[in-house]
Structure 1
Amino acid sequence: MKDAEHLDDMNNLAETKSDTENPSSSDSESSDDDAEDLQLETLEKELAENPSSYDTHVQYIRTLRKLGLIENLREARESMNILFPLSPAMWREWAKDEASLNTGPEAFAVIEKLYERGVHEYLSVSLWCDYVNFVQEHDPSVRECSSDGIKKMRDLFERALTAGGLHLVEGNKIWEAYREFELNIFHTIDDNNNEGKEKQIQCIRSIFHRQLSVPLDDLRSTLLAYKAWEVKHGNLHESNCSDLDGIPSHVTSAYQKAMEMYNARIPYEQQISKQDAFDTEKLQHFTTYLKFEQSCGDPARIQLLYERAVAVFPISSDLWIEYTQYLDHTLKIPNVAKCVYSRATRNCTWIGELWVRYLLSLERAHASEEELSTVFEQSLQCSFSSIDEYLDLFLTRVDGLRRRISPTNAEDGLDCTVFRDTFQRAKEYISPHLKSTDDLLHLHAYWAHLELNLAKDLVAARGVWESLLKTSGSMLEAWQSYIRMEIEAGHIKDARSIYKRCYSKRFSGTGSEDICHSWLRFERKFGSLEDFDFAVRKVTPRLEELRLFRAQQESKNVSITTAKEIPADVVSQKRKSGRRLTDEQPQLKRQKYAAYHSEGALVKDTTKKSTEEDDAKPIDGKTNKLEPTDEQRINGSTSKKTKYTDQCTVFVSNLSFEAKEEHLRDFFSDVGGVTAIRILRNKFNGKSRGLAYVDFSDEIHLVAAVSKNKKQLLGKKLNIVRSDPKQSQKQDSSRSNTITEHGKRTTAGEDAPDEKHDIEGSVEADKESVAPHVPSSHSHRRGETVYPRGKSTSTMVPRAVVRPLGWGKNEPRSEGDEKPKSNDEFREMFLKTE
């Protein structure tokens, strides 16, 4: 039956298809046609570039339908349905378009097939009603009420009732159509055929009774219609009493129970039918409704509600997963689950869990290898969010093959080459993303296990481990698993040969020591005395080498810690032994001496800096802070340092003095993830100190960078270690309570040196504190003013210039004092130093 609106649409479509080149066409119509053609070209281009765009497919179909391009429209709908399920409205529109344009037996078969495809995609009572109406109108056998036609129609109605007959709001449409069909058959029976009429009456009565036992909208009207029908056929006397008077007791009981069920569910129906509700809110209402139905325990009603929910929310992966879990664990009907999984993976192609469950469902339904292989290949064409989903998919496929190839369940056409090819493809797919990880190890271990135990191929099993070691030879667990396989197979000599290959390799953490001790334990258990002695000879120097390396690392850490703690104690003692008595002079007296010697060219700058230094010292608890010099601004050597956390940083030493940031960036380019590079420079001349810090974006890139230790850059082997901010934090904490020479406490947030600067100057600071007589180009702190040491002597003042207060010319000197020098002598000394 065609409605008026659809007939108007199809008339417009047919008019557009026919030649309507009318000279009287208006300019506006021509302009509209040009715009539609341009839109069509644009949509075709977009689909060619992105065929997986659902909205573009929908717009393209609408445009073709409006232009009346029938053949293109059919192709567009078929192309879209290959990629996506079509909505019930699109199926109804497609079937009605074909029914309006085509007639005849061949056209009927095509349209009937369209309806069949549509009712399998989503639950739609309206689509089912269109389907049964179409068959009644266009199937000759049904129109003629032949036995085959009646049987076909009854089967179709029963399928419709199974799909949507329990729909609380719309289910009665199918029931009424079914009753109407049976009533039409009753009218075609000859009046003299009493037996046939009585049989048909019983059939109609049965449909009434079934409908009255189902909670549906307007069930009271159905009850009244049933009473009227029974009265008409003389089986019930007309009565003005209650609705249930004269109704059989079993029908009354079923009707009352149905009304109770209806009243309990109508609040949930009202919630999910709200037109102004957001999708998230409506989905939550469906979830609440489902929990209620599950508590009632009727599988048919639960499945129906799931079908209604996925029809409204077809791309809700969580909803599909819940639905399939219910089918797997509760309903347990393999064919039903198989159909639902097929639809779920078409709607949510990007969910790996659904594909994995689909393969398992097919195996439960005893699907053929061809069908399993087809679904597996389809899944590999999808894009998943993580590599773990691909791995799970491959392992699920291998699991199924193992069960089907096992000796107790051999299947024709399957052999070990199938799972071997699957493993090989898995390796090619995911190995680049799982390098040196446990997942990659487990994949190869499973592969080797099947080669050895299922295929009985020792050579192939060894080949699996050897291929892993080529790419992940630094994994201790890979070597251990390989050795374990050989031991379990009883191949002691082969296991020993693997120990000989790997005992000298460098593994992370204590792995190098562990493999040495493992070899010794192996020889104790399986080897002869000669074998054990050989292992001891090989392992002992290796363990000693590792012990020395650990000791050096610990010594380096201790020296770094010591160097950071030295300035508070050792430096103050050094200053006491060589301290100039001028430090105790009053400030005014020092200014007097500075003014007295201001005319000397040699000490002009020295006196000026000395005055600035004294001005910066605490006076009555206050400090006059100096502005940073230009040189300090350039080199960033102001008193307040930038604080770095070093959460994902490596410390690079033995760096060429010619190396620049771009050299380091190129050096770590194969690692990737570099976010910042800081080359440490001398704060006075700006030259590189051969040290650098390199920050990385995450832990994976950091570990890869540390693995490049001892690699060469510009002819020098770099020392690359991970920066340890925790150690510096402990030192900052201890240093925060240290009192400086002038009685001023440093705090972690003020004058405490930055954690990285502690590491940078650790070795130099250690040399300076332990051997103060050795000239050094580094600086030490005095209050807040920096004094350079070594060859840079621009701040040195002759002893003859500055004397302690009250010390006369003839004042005897202590034994340790040296003779004061004149300006000429001091100048000569200065020139020699230079």
Structure 2
Amino acid sequence: MEEETLNPLTSEQGNNDDQSMPDLPDQDLGSSDSYSDSDSGSEDGGDQAHQNLQLQTLEAELSTNPANYDTHVQYIKILRQMADIEKLRQAREAMNQLFPLTPSMWQDWAKDDASLSTGSDAFLAIEKLYERGVFEYLSISLWRDYLDFVKENDPSIRECSPAGISKARDLFERALTAAGLHVSEGNKLWEAYRSFELAIFHTIDEKDNQAREKQIQRIRSLFHRQLSVPHVNMRSRLLDYKAWEVEQGNILDAGSSDLDGISFQVASAYKKALEMYDARVHLEEQICRQDMSDSERLQNFMNYLRFEQSSGDPARVQMLYERAITDFPISSYLWLDYTHYLDKTLKVGNVITNVYSRAVMNCPSVGELWVRYMLSLERGHASEKEIASVFEKSLLCTLTLDEYLDLYLTRVDSLRRRISCAIEGEHGLEYSLIRETFQNASDYLSAYLKNTDGLLRLHAYWARLELNLHKDQLAARGVWETLLKLCGSMLEAWQGYIAMETELGHVNEARALYRRCYSKRFLGTGSEDICHSWLRFEREFGSLDDFDHAVQKVTPRLEELELFKSQQESKLTEENPLKKNARDKRKQVSDVPNEQHPAKRQKDAAQKPKKAHGKDSEVMNSGEQTKVEKTKATGDQPDIENEQQIKERGPEKRKANDEHLRQFFSDVGGVVAIRILHDKFTGKSRGLAYVDFSDDGHLVAAVAKNKQVLLGKKLSIARSDPKHGKKEHARGAESNNSAEASNAPRARQAQQSTYNRGSNNVQLRGKNTFATPRNILALGHSTNKPKTEEQDDEKPKSNDEFRNMFRKG
């Protein structure tokens, strides 16, 4: 091994690079950014005029599209051929503002500047270039150039001053930390370090035994450290070490068996390193192969990484990640995997933030990297100025709307935490920063995220912070009002606003919101949901008058919605009856609601009805009765049958009796009486039943069970109306207090009813109807109860009026 030299300033291999404009080396990161042609420029442009024309074209392209990577590369290539060092330096700086440069680009930059600049200022500038280069990507070659440049050009190192030697050692140790574990090339750095220390040894006076012995021990330590690390050609390093020890007189025969004459500790470390190398050699071969696609090579890197992660050495894992991103710098998958690993293992520290800063430079259009970068800065107790700078840079990138929203929310999270828990040494932050961030987010995203959960989440968070952190109720209401202007058709927006007022105990404000939105049209069952929500609200917070008022308002609205739904279904049946029949068959089971009415109910067993007074007509005025109607799926589809249909085909028909109905309304409670009707001539069931409830609240809850299933059949439940005559009722006429939910005309209902004289059971087949008997007076009802007049709301329309309105439409 040629490692003895009297000049400690020269590396083991020396630096033979010409100090004139050097030939351009091949690039490390692929051909797209390579500019390795000769500086003569004969093949690229020929004469000066052609080069100038190329230059003007490239400058025009960069002025219109500064983010074009390849244009930057070609522009630098032409400037380098023209040897315009000042313009070349500016071009490189401009490119590096947007993109990382490859290791070979940094090498060329440093060599170009070194060839034309001299003096201490030039040395510091070039040293800074090397520092920037080794930060961006891992490159053994770049580190070697850096080390050689410093040894040859730093006066303190060249003069072997203690300060200079210490500086050189620190730089070598940094190089080993960055790349000393590199299996295939790391030994080059170890050997360069050892060569430097050997050169120092030869400058020590032979009479200074203490200094020479100290230096010998330093060299021996480097040998021992290197032999404990798995590298290629490990046996050669072992033989080099033994030969050196022979020179020191510690081993008699360097050619003996490999481990003879070596201490047990060194031999043990060497054998372990050799085993580690043997376990990795096949993986190294896979990632170094050039006869495969990039995707295959990347997969080989990932296989290698999983192996290193299973071994549990974070330093080796990080080294391999650095090697991978040098070969695949724009793989967002790789950067995300790398940063996730660091977040999991290291959690905090400059190492993580440095990796994130490089990740967003290589993959600026990946919002998750920016979000996690900001979080890593916060974990590392970075300054508000630094976090704000990263946030502002992220907004300049091309991201998806959801990614922009995530960035804004992450920024607010950070500000909230910093305001809530002031950081030592940092001036208190103003809440106005949070408000400004929310406002900017709303201004930018509202046009694109209108009526979306994302915009709702943003404003709900904003309102909560205005209320809880800034203690400003008016500002919180203002946020909700702004959202309603943007997303007034979103049920969740109204619910969030109402929930805030309710939690604050502002019952009147919450009630006012219900009055504003109960008649709005929402998606799905939202229109019905808001009506039921208002009733629950009044049950829990309102007076009896408030509850009665809510009932009076939502009942016609619910009837209107049910009527509209029935008409839409009938229209669909008329347009395509076969399709409708098949759809009903498929949905027969799935239409069963998964949950009951959310309001709390008392069991009817606990009810103690009051004594009845008054007549039939007064019963209906009290709003305490309901009519229940069984609906029948139209059409038939023999080839589509569910389990329930198969059961109902059998000889034993499923029938409903008093107990069935009482059980059906058990969650509602308040059942006073049940009467199943039979034909007075045949005694067969008419398919009708009347159910009497103790009060209006239980009645409304019962009506809310419309379209639910009893014994496998869907029921239609409506309020009975005593004001209409018997003839009208037989035809299914409706009044102000009844709700029609039938999918078929009343004439068809009469034909489809079945009868069973003398039995208290109702056969659930066809269009069966259950309703409250009009000759039963609700217990506790007073015949002298005055009517309630509407004060601030218009009089609700009757069902007949609603029907006529739709017919006109």
The answer to whether TM tops 0.5 is: yes
Q: Who is 1:72 aligned against?
A: 87
* Separation (CA, whole Å) in 2 of partners of 1:239 and 1:563: 96
Q: 1:226 to 1:426 in 2, by over 3 A?
A: same
Q: How much does 1:192 deviate? A: 1.4
Aligned partners of 2:577 and 2:635 also within 8 Å:
no
Aligned partners of 2:371 and 2:410 also within 8 Å:
yes
1:9 equivalenced with 2:14 (yes/no): no
1:398 equivalenced with 2:442 (yes/no): no
Q: 1:129 to 1:408 in 2, by over 3 A?
A: closer
Q: How much does 1:235 deviate? A: 2.2
Q: How much does 1:558 deviate? A: 4.1
* Separation (CA, whole Å) in 1 of partners of 2:635 and 2:204: 99
Letter in structure 2 aligned against 1:281: E
Question: What's the secondary structure of 1:188's corresponding residue?
Answer: coil
Q: Who is 1:359 aligned against?
A: 374
Q: Which of 490, 495, 518 is equivalent to 1:475?
A: 490
Q: Who is 2:358 aligned against?
A: 343
Q: 1:103 to 1:332 in 2, by over 3 A?
A: same
Q: 1:249 to 1:31 in 2, by over 3 A?
A: closer
* Separation (CA, whole Å) in 2 of partners of 1:407 and 1:537: 50
Q: 1:234 to 1:427 in 2, by over 3 A?
A: same
Q: Who is 1:693 aligned against?
A: none
* Separation (CA, whole Å) in 2 of partners of 1:449 and 1:402: 11
Aligned partners of 1:324 and 1:337 also within 8 Å:
yes
Q: Which of 124, 134, 153 is equivalent to 1:109?
A: 124
Q: How much does 1:426 deviate? A: 1.4
Q: 1:449 to 1:7 in 2, by over 3 A?
A: same
Q: How much does 1:266 deviate? A: 1.3
* Separation (CA, whole Å) in 2 of partners of 1:729 and 1:379: 59
- The CA RMSD measured in Å over matched residues stands at 2.8
Q: Which of 64, 72, 78 is equivalent to 1:49?
A: 64
Of the structure 1 ranges 403-412 and 456-465, higher mean CA displacement relative to structure 2 is found in 403-412
1:307 equivalenced with 2:322 (yes/no): yes
1:334 equivalenced with 2:362 (yes/no): no
Instruction: State how 1:98-177 maps to structure 2 within 5 Å.
Output: 98-177=113-192
Of the structure 1 ranges 81-90 and 259-268, higher mean CA displacement relative to structure 2 is found in 259-268
Question: What's the secondary structure of 1:433's corresponding residue?
Answer: coil
Q: 1:29 to 1:353 in 2, by over 3 A?
A: closer
Aligned partners of 2:194 and 2:222 also within 8 Å:
yes
1:244 equivalenced with 2:267 (yes/no): no
* Separation (CA, whole Å) in 1 of partners of 2:514 and 2:475: 20
Aligned partners of 1:10 and 1:97 also within 8 Å:
no
TM-score (normalizing by structure 1): 0.64
Q: How much does 1:29 deviate? A: 12
Q: Who is 1:459 aligned against?
A: 474
* Separation (CA, whole Å) in 2 of partners of 1:29 and 1:427: 51
For residues 185-227 of structure 1, the C-alpha deviation after alignment (integer angstroms, 9 at most, x for no partner) is 1111111111111111111111111111111122222222222
Letter in structure 1 aligned against 2:412: V
TM-score (normalizing by structure 2): 0.66
* Separation (CA, whole Å) in 1 of partners of 2:243 and 2:577: 105
Q: Who is 1:220 aligned against?
A: 235
Q: Who is 1:88 aligned against?
A: 103
Q: 1:9 to 1:409 in 2, by over 3 A?
A: closer
Q: Who is 2:402 aligned against?
A: 388
For residues 341-377 of structure 1, the C-alpha deviation after alignment (integer angstroms, 9 at most, x for no partner) is 0000000001011111101111110111111100011
Q: Which of 191, 202, 219 is equivalent to 1:187?
A: 202
* Separation (CA, whole Å) in 2 of partners of 1:326 and 1:543: 55
Task: Answer 1 or 2: higher relative contact order, Cα 8 Å, separation at least 6.
Answer: 2
* Separation (CA, whole Å) in 2 of partners of 1:458 and 1:294: 52
* Separation (CA, whole Å) in 1 of partners of 2:529 and 2:60: 62
Q: Who is 1:276 aligned against?
A: 291
Q: Who is 1:724 aligned against?
A: none
Letter in structure 2 aligned against 1:424: Q
Aligned partners of 2:348 and 2:379 also within 8 Å:
no
Q: How much does 1:543 deviate? A: 3.0
Question: What's the secondary structure of 1:247's corresponding residue?
Answer: coil
Letter in structure 2 aligned against 1:80: M
Q: Who is 1:40 aligned against?
A: 55
* Separation (CA, whole Å) in 1 of partners of 2:634 and 2:295: 50
* Separation (CA, whole Å) in 1 of partners of 2:431 and 2:105: 46
* Separation (CA, whole Å) in 2 of partners of 1:194 and 1:230: 17
Mind listing any 5+ residue stretches in structure 2 that lack a counterpart?
1-13, 25-39, 581-632, 641-809
Question: What's the secondary structure of 1:432's corresponding residue?
Answer: coil
For residues 743-771 of structure 1, the C-alpha deviation after alignment (integer angstroms, 9 at most, x for no partner) is xxxxxxxxxxxxxxxxxxxxxxxxxxxxx
Q: 1:98 to 1:163 in 2, by over 3 A?
A: same
Aligned partners of 1:398 and 1:419 also within 8 Å:
yes
* Separation (CA, whole Å) in 1 of partners of 2:151 and 2:163: 13
Q: 1:441 to 1:475 in 2, by over 3 A?
A: same
Q: Who is 1:576 aligned against?
A: none
Question: What's the secondary structure of 1:177's corresponding residue?
Answer: helix
* Separation (CA, whole Å) in 1 of partners of 2:165 and 2:311: 36
For residues 540-572 of structure 1, the C-alpha deviation after alignment (integer angstroms, 9 at most, x for no partner) is 33333334333433443344456999xxxxxxx
Q: Which of 435, 440, 446 is equivalent to 2:461?
A: 446
Question: What's the secondary structure of 2:447's corresponding residue?
Answer: helix
Q: 1:370 to 1:324 in 2, by over 3 A?
A: same
For residues 247-290 of structure 1, the C-alpha deviation after alignment (integer angstroms, 9 at most, x for no partner) is 11111111111111112211111111112221111111111111
Letter in structure 1 aligned against 2:325: V
Q: 1:210 to 1:562 in 2, by over 3 A?
A: closer
For residues 576-613 of structure 1, the C-alpha deviation after alignment (integer angstroms, 9 at most, x for no partner) is xxxxxxxxxxxxxxxxxxxxxxxxxxxxxxxxxxxxxx
For residues 600-629 of structure 1, the C-alpha deviation after alignment (integer angstroms, 9 at most, x for no partner) is xxxxxxxxxxxxxxxxxxxxxxxxxxxxxx
Q: Who is 1:683 aligned against?
A: none
Q: How much does 1:730 deviate? A: 9.2
Letter in structure 2 aligned against 1:59: Q
Q: 1:492 to 1:407 in 2, by over 3 A?
A: farther
The number of equivalent residue pairs is 561
Instruction: State how 1:716-735 maps to structure 2 within 5 Å.
Output: none
Aligned partners of 2:102 and 2:137 also within 8 Å:
yes
For residues 42-72 of structure 1, the C-alpha deviation after alignment (integer angstroms, 9 at most, x for no partner) is 1111111111011110111011000111111
Aligned partners of 1:310 and 1:319 also within 8 Å:
yes
Q: Who is 1:507 aligned against?
A: 522
**Hey, which of these two has a bigger chunk of helix by percent?**
1
* Separation (CA, whole Å) in 1 of partners of 2:388 and 2:372: 14
Instruction: State how 1:634-645 maps to structure 2 within 5 Å.
Output: none
Q: How much does 1:733 deviate? A: 10
* Separation (CA, whole Å) in 1 of partners of 2:166 and 2:179: 20
Instruction: State how 1:507-656 maps to structure 2 within 5 Å.
Output: 507-561=522-576
Aligned partners of 1:561 and 1:731 also within 8 Å:
no
* Separation (CA, whole Å) in 2 of partners of 1:474 and 1:509: 12
For residues 626-660 of structure 1, the C-alpha deviation after alignment (integer angstroms, 9 at most, x for no partner) is xxxxxxxxxxxxxxxxxxxxxxxxxxxxxxxxxxx
Letter in structure 1 aligned against 2:496: S
* Separation (CA, whole Å) in 2 of partners of 1:393 and 1:504: 37
Question: What's the secondary structure of 2:493's corresponding residue?
Answer: helix
Q: 1:264 to 1:536 in 2, by over 3 A?
A: closer
Q: Who is 1:321 aligned against?
A: 336
Question: What's the secondary structure of 1:288's corresponding residue?
Answer: helix
* Separation (CA, whole Å) in 2 of partners of 1:128 and 1:563: 77
Aligned partners of 2:239 and 2:254 also within 8 Å:
no
Of the structure 1 ranges 140-149 and 418-427, higher mean CA displacement relative to structure 2 is found in 418-427
Q: 1:31 to 1:388 in 2, by over 3 A?
A: closer
Aligned partners of 1:403 and 1:409 also within 8 Å:
no
